């Protein structure tokens, strides 16, 4: 849905509920774990803090672990501050996501996946947007981070409205997926629960599965705190809650926020589905920004940003061997389909 159509929808919703109701706001204060979440799997690999404000998820040889929201939501703002494990974390996946897993064949999904790496190499962040089981047209992007996520917690948030999905890191937008009519059912629109998990992604997470989880370094522990569940209930919220979501600060992309997002993407975006003509030759992603096309190789990998050791480095030109061969490099990121653990 384009900006004009989104504005018409918002205006119609305001007429339905009345302006005073439309002015209501959502509470984005953190909630105690017990108030909003419950354990999903992992037994004693899920450890709550004494005050119930934070949770540690661990992965060892026996199992990973995870928790899930007690309620499902139909749009909203969901956030967690996460501190990631240090040292050798290749193959480790820490995920924070919304998933409509009650629809196994046509589920929706919006998520962050934080992907571990070898000792001395940086974590990477992947965002995914799936609608109606559209994993064959997965809308993945992968980024480096401008900080070391193992030193202290950083906030990862998703704003999901009827017209757009916006991903945030530490309050700065890094990706916006605006609903377009041509997306059809590919835009997530079903009620979803919120999950947090840590698990073994050896098959794909680090350089396409080249580096596996080494359990000599286990347990791997990720700390979750400042858990925010500001969403609309699947029933009973209706148009009033939808208006509150669409008019909230987190959902409104101002020119300043879009400029900050473009700066982040120029400096830290490693891979985008938008310009991957190898995996998706002929597939049109109507929500993509063609203005970025010249910054990417035809396999979707950035010409500007490449992974390094504990930081990114700029590539002024594509490597000569890639340009001469005109083909897919050996380091092209293999993107795995998210597992709904």
Catalytic residue ranges = 109, 113
Look up residue 100 and give its DSSP letter: -
Q: Which two tokens stand for residue 244?
A: 């509150």
Residue 322 vs residues 278, 291, 317, 319, 331: alpha-carbon distances, Å: 14, 23, 10, 5, 11
Q: Residue 5 in contact with residue 187, Cβ under 8 Å?
A: no
Q: Give CA–CA dist 226/142, Å, rounded.
A: 24
Q: What's the angle, vertex CA 319, arms to CA 271 and CA 89, rounded to 5? A: 45
Say which residue the tokens 């050896």 belong to. 202
Strand order in the sheet with 37-41: 37-41, 65-69, 193-200, 92-99, 109-115, 124-130, 141-143, 269-276, 299-301
Look up residue 336 and give its DSSP letter: P
Q: Which two tokens stand for residue 219?
A: 């347990």
Q: Residue 190 in contact with residue 103, Cβ under 8 Å?
A: yes
Q: What's the angle, vertex CA 59, arms to CA 44 and CA 61, rounded to 5? A: 95
For residue 40, count other CB atoms closer than 10 A to its CB.
18
N- to C-terminal Cα distance for the chain?
31
């Amino acid at each position: 849905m384009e900006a004009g159509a989104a504005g018409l929808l918002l205006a119609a919703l305001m007429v339905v509920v009345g302006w005073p109701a439309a002015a209501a706001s959502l509470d984005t204060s953190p909630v105690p774990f017990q108030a909003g979440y419950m354990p999903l799997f992992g037994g004693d690999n899920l450890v709550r803090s004494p005050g119930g404000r934070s949770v540690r998820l661990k992965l060892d040889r026996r199992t990973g672990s995870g928790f899930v929201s007690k309620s499902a939501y139909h749009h909203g703002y969901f956030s967690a501050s996460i501190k990631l494990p240090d040292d050798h974390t290749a193959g480790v996946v820490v995920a924070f996501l919304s998933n409509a897993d009650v629809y196994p064949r046509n589920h929706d999904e919006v998520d962050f996946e934080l992907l571990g790496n070898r000792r001395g190499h940086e974590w990477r962040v992947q965002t995914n947007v799936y609608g109606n089981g559209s994993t064959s047209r997965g809308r993945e992007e992968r980024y480096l981070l401008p900080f070391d996520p193992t030193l202290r917690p950083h906030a990862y948030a998703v704003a999901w409205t009827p017209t757009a999905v916006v991903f945030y890191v530490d309050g700065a937008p890094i990706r916006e997926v605006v609903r377009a009519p041509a997306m059809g059912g590919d835009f997530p629109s079903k009620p979803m629960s919120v999950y947090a998990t840590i698990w073994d992604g050896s098959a794909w997470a680090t350089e396409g599965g080249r580096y596996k989880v080494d359990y000599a370094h286990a347990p791997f522990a990720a700390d979750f705190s400042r858990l925010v569940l500001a969403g609309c209930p699947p029933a009973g919220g209706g148009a009033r809650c939808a208006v509150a979501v669409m008019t909230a600060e987190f959902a409104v992309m101002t020119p300043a926020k879009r400029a900050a997002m473009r700066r982040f993407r120029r400096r830290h975006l490693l891979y985008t589905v938008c310009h991957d003509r190898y995996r998706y030759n002929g597939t049109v992603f109507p929500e993509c920004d063609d203005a970025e096309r010249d910054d990417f190789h035809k396999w979707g990998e950035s010409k500007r940003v490449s992974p390094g050791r504990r930081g990114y480095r700029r590539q002024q030109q594509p490597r000569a061997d890639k340009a001469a061969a005109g083909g897919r490099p050996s380091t092209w990121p293999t993107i795995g389909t998210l597992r709904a653990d």
